[in-house]
A = this chain, B = another copy of it.
Amino acid sequence: MKKHNFYAGPAILPQMAIDNTIEALKDFAGTGISLASISHRSKEFVAVMAEAESLFKELLNIPDGYSVIFVGGGASLQFAMVPFNLMKKKAAYLNTGEWSSKAIKEAKMFGDVVEIRGKDFSYIPKNFDVPQDVDYFHITTNNTIFGTEIREDFDCKVPLVADMSSDIFSRPVDVSKYALIYGGAQKNLAPAGVTFAIVRNDILGKVEHKIPTMLNYKTHIDKESMYNTPPVIPVYTAVQTLKWIKEMGGVAAIEKLNIAKAQLLYNEIDRNKLFRGTVAEEDRSIMNVCFVLNDEFKEFEDEFGKFASARGLVGIKGHRSVGGFRASLYNALELESVQALVTAMQEFETQKN
């Protein structure tokens, strides 16, 4: 039975990217050596790293003056790296969920944090004022847990820093609006283990405290992500995914597909008598669609989970902090998989109604 992979991350990747990685594990670039065992200093792998950087710049149309780096440790390590590199005294954070909250917790170790938040995480706060005396303003563009998303690149008078772990490459981004964009790669890009950062070079070098070498963006920029051994396999797979995005027509074409997939599922959630969405309509994520059973059908939650699972729908259990269901519709998920979920929801409704 075909499995439809709705996991929130690590998540579905293009089959082509996985197939090419398998081939490279057998024999990398004709070297006769496995990708798992190739030196990162070999000219063949140095070329892969350079291609990762250039495909990022091409696909996201990154302006001059920015560097792209690949490091280990995950976005959670970036929560500390951002203030280590950028905070002199004070920063502002938009708190839109668990990941923002974790980023804020780390930032508080380095200075004052102005926290902007709504009454809960079911929507994105609007019309807030960002203090003008902060070193930067941090946002999390997509909330994988609650299913909200900031899909506009807004103007900001202070340096804007964005965690785009779960929506990078899902849409065109106006990188010029940001001072720093970072993210774990394990959603739209690569297997877990590599983290990217897109850094506007002029924001660095302004803090007075010392920065551990590995936590200093400059270290990795100066050494082109080869200061220490990079996560070779995830970087290779990322390049394959980026090539796939290019073949698909780039991020603008990908965005259209993503909107179509999300629309199909949200329409069903809104139509189906059993289910309802959990967040404000205008802030709905096109990556992570969260929904619950209406109160009168709550008792059927486990049953729907099993019903879906029996149809090969994998990974739709909601995060423990929200409950219900979450379907993650990352770039590589096909419309057919969303249709399979919608059909299951319809059949379940017929059974219960």
Contacts and interface: CB of A to CB of B under 8 A. Distances in A.
Interface in A195-217: 210, 212-215
A257 interface: no
A319 to B, nearest CB: 10
Interface string A168-200: 000000000000000010100011111000000
Q: How many copies does the complex hold?
A: 2
Contact of A1 (B2, B32, B233): B32
Contact of A215 (B13, B21, B80, B231): B80
Interface residues of A, number: 66
A321 to B, nearest CB: 13
A106 interface: yes
Interface stretch (A129-137, A222-230, A263-271): A222-230
Given A32-B312, A73-B214, A184-B228, 10 more contacts: A8-B39, A10-B36, A13-B37, A17-B36, A21-B25, A37-B191, A74-B228, A77-B214, A79-B213, A80-B215
Interface of A: 1-3, 5, 7-13, 17-18, 21-22, 25-26, 31-40, 42, 71-77, 79-80, 84, 102, 105-106, 109, 184, 186, 190-194, 210, 212-215, 227-234, 237, 312, 314-315
27 contacts: A3-B31, A3-B33, A5-B37, A7-B37, A7-B38, A7-B39, A9-B229, A11-B37, A13-B34, A13-B36, A22-B25, A31-B314, A33-B314, A36-B191, A36-B237, A37-B191, A39-B315, A72-B72, A74-B214, A75-B228, A76-B227, A76-B228, A80-B214, A184-B229, A192-B231, A192-B233, A231-B234
